[in-house]
Amino acid sequence: MKIKNLLKTCLVGAASAAIITSCETERTIYYSAYMTAVETTGGEPYSCLFVSDDSITIIPLNQYEFISKLETDDRIIGTFSIPDGEISDPVEVEFTSFTQLPPQDITVTGNIDTVGNNYIDPQTMWHSGGVKGASRFLTISFAIQASSAGIQHDIYLVDDTSLSNPDADGYYRLKFRHDANNDPFVEVVGGVATFRLPEKYTAPGIKGIKVDFKNFSPGIDSTLTVTF
């Protein structure tokens, strides 16, 4: 993820993966959810439906022009209302906004020192997809330190081939890296990154994924874990 203006291109204060974030007005409740587009076979007014990160099928009732530009495995966070008033599976929704979250590939290297290693604070990590035509993804919400100078930051998920994977407990070990490109540390801002998970990382016998990172406390490394 190449970030030139974190406050504009990253989601701040990321919600969880499920359809649980809502905002109620006098008449309408609006929900937000992370989801993956899945192209349909035709015959419907929409070119894609969506699978939420908690595996609920989301059927759009509007915004067909925007949806027509999407392809299978495009990632978004969408805000919507539910005309029927109940969360079901599948659920028909009316979208009010979309934010695209471009998927990244995992960086594979035997020389981890070539990847930036500035401080980063992952706050939530979850696995999604692998159902209803969607690929699998690992999504991480995080906080980093940055200035308002517009300097590009780079976010990576790294497969360090010098490690033995999976580990003795059956987890595939990856590293979450942040390259601030010498941007001064002025304030803490939030972001979200989503990564494709090829079968290599989810094959039978792999229990889950552990992600190591360098947090804001000097000299202290930490780990987030997802179990499949």
- Asked if pLDDT for residue 23 goes beyond 70, the answer is no
Q: Which of 55, 54, 74 is nearest to 66 (CA)?
A: 74
Residue 221 and residue 216: Cα distance in Å, rounded? 9
Residue range 67-112, pLDDT digits in tens? 999 999 999 999 999 999 888 999 999 999 999 999 999 999 999 9
Structural domains in the chain, CATH included, are 2-12+103-227 (2.60.40.2370), 21-100 (2.40.50.500)
Identify residue 126 by its one-letter amino acid code.
Answer: W
Mean pLDDT of the chain: 87
Residue 32 and residue 22: Cα distance in Å, rounded? 6
Return the H-helix or E-strand segment holding 66: helix 64-67
What's the maximum distance between 2 C-alpha atoms anywhere in the chain? 57
pTM: 0.86
CB 117 within 8 A of CB 83: no
Residue range 24-74, pLDDT digits in tens? 656 789 999 999 999 998 889 999 999 999 999 999 999 999 999 999 999
Range of weakest confidence among 6-10, 156-160, 206-210, 219-223: 6-10
